[in-house]
Amino acid sequence: MPFVLMCGFPSSGKSTRCRELKRIIEDREKVNVHVFGDADLSIGKNETFADSRIEKEQRGHLKAYVQRKINKDDVVILDSGNYIKGFRYELYCMTKSAQSPHCVIHCNTAPDTAWQWNTSRPAEDQYTKEIFDALVMRFEAPENRNRWDSPLFLLNPEDELPSEAICDALIRKKAPPPNLSTQSQPLSSSNFIHELDKITQNTVQFILESQKTCIVGDTIKIPGATDKLMLVKVLTLAELQRTRRQFINFCRMHPTDDSTKIGNMFIQFITTSLK
């Protein structure tokens, strides 16, 4: 499933680019293209982003749709702001596990221009000023140096869609092989969740204790893991617990049949989250 992740401010032209890309891929490559996004969700955009609980649920629906559509033939385009770096990383891990090529398209429209486009829409399709400003403030721009944001196509409003380069990245590029931290394996141990919880909790505690005597730039050797953690900054308990929850959720969907791998997988996951 070649996967396209749209990214940008509200009303920055994402849906217009989606329609253009869908038409080109279907005409030129003769493959099916599925487009899904905020407009397909049952709750309105303003109602969604005004409530953090609803917003989280809606992101779950977007992610579930992508996961359901994974296959080797069709192209899926996620037409949403995708402004959270961690969410983009989760989608990247999902597509990498499926050995699917992907790319990110950032509609790099200035906030003032996006607001003008927003106000030109029918009233029922507009973002309120409060929601619009909040989403602009919260936007975490993609960076090409991040694996989950690469290859990145940055599109200004006046730019032509680089359709040839996008098709090369999606259709003609060899799919990435799964690595240790994203490879899906059958769950053979009934004790897996218990081991996962214990190993990750012990790792968090060991990192917190080690930081009392370490400085930024040191490497921490974690018991039970061969990989070492490079301390690029001081990690708080809240950061580590948040990363731990994300890792546990990922492992529940992609369990390993060897609990000895959990330690290294968690260290890799923390390292990637720090970038």
Inform me whether the pLDDT recorded for 148 exceeds 70: yes
Tell me how far the alpha carbon of residue 129 is from its chain's centroid.
26
The three-state secondary structure class of 139 is coil
Closest CA to 159 of 8, 1, 51: 8
Q: How far is CA 194 from CA 44, 93, 191, 199, in A?
A: 39, 23, 5, 9
Q: What b/e sequence results for 198-216 when a residue is b if at least 16 CB atoms lie within 10 Å of its CB, and e otherwise?
A: ebbeebbebbeebbeeeee
User: What domains are there in the chain, each with its CATH number?
Assistant: 3-172 (3.40.50.300), 192-274 (no CATH)
The model's pTM: 0.64
Work out whether the CA dihedral 133, 45, 104, 16 comes out positive or negative.
Answer: negative
Give pLDDT tens digits for 18-71.
999 999 999 988 889 999 988 888 788 899 899 989 988 888 889 888 888 877
Give pLDDT tens digits for 71-114.
777 899 999 999 999 999 989 888 887 778 899 999 999 999 99
Question: Taking a C-beta distance cutoff of 8 angstroms, is the pair 258, 194 a contact?
Answer: no
Closest CA to 107 of 159, 45, 33: 159
Q: How many CB atoms lie within 10 A of CB 29?
A: 16
| Cα(179)–Cα(29) distance, integer angstroms | 29
Please state, rounded to an integer, the average pLDDT across all residues of the chain: 85
The three-state secondary structure class of 267 is helix
